[in-house]
Chains A and B, each alone.
Chain A
Amino acid sequence: MNVSQLAGLLGLRVFGGETGLGNEINGGYTSDLLSDVMGHANAGCVWVTLQTHKNVLAIASLKELAAVVIVKGYQPEPDMLEQSSIEGIPVLGTSEEAFEITGKIYQLLNG
């Protein structure tokens, strides 16, 4: 499944990084601790978080993650969005909480 398909199936808002919508997704990681993601997320994951700043994209890019999903209706800060287009890593959004959206993503990837 790619990012665009995931966004479509779960009704996720695409904030930016559209050039990466074709990125293939092979898993997910849910955490708000940046070093946790740095140490444990794998390439190709979608990262579910409530963090909305630019460093999220720096980590997503270094780890070659597929996309970032911001939860609870939070909005990405402008420099996060800018970095999202530079890196071609989509930033998506949902009004749901991390638990719910993570469960849905898990089911789509493993169902």
Chain B
Amino acid sequence: MTAETIHIEFQVEGGNFSRAGYPSSEVKKRLKQLNVDGSVIKRTVVALYEAEVNIVAHAYRGLISVDIDEHKILIRLTDEGPGIPDIKKAMEIGYSTATPEVREMGFGAGMGLSNMNSNADRLEITSKVGQGTTVEIVNFFHK
């Protein structure tokens, strides 16, 4: 593998589910091109998808910034939104504030943060109520 680094950014629009999954699918392609281990790609895609959909479902707009070097992928998602008052509670499986419309689509099971937690080597969430949320995901290519 070369020492080349890759930087990609994506805009995310709150409420627009029709584009959800695009960043994950782009990142998946890039990681495949770089011959990253398949299980790392799978984990990364799950964590990124859940984090992206959380912006779509719960926030107003956001930015995803992805940095890939020879050892790891670092994904930072920052959004403008309501923020998360109690992150520990939000992490519990089954806790969700999703609207009825969002639940009708099959989102809102309260499992996304738990999926992110089990598919990221490092997960950091910081949030300011009334301002927004930042999620940082790191996955390493070699254990």
Contacts and interface: CB of A to CB of B under 8 A. Distances in A.
A39 B106 contact: no
B140 to A, nearest CB: 20
B49 A53 contact: no
Contact of B107 (A35, A61, A63, A79): A35
A51 interface: yes
Interface string B84-119: 000000000000000000000111011110110011
Contacts of B24: 58, 62
A51 B104 CA distance: 9
Most chain B CB within 10 A, of A32, A38, A54, is at: A38
A9 interface: no
Interface in B37-57: 42, 45-46, 49-50, 53
Nearest to A60: B21
A59 interface: yes
Interface string A57-72: 0110111000000000
A62 B49 contact: yes
Contact of A39 (B21, B28, B46, B53): B46
Q: A-B pairs with the 5 shortest C-beta distances?
A: A58-B21, A35-B111, A33-B109, A39-B115, A34-B106
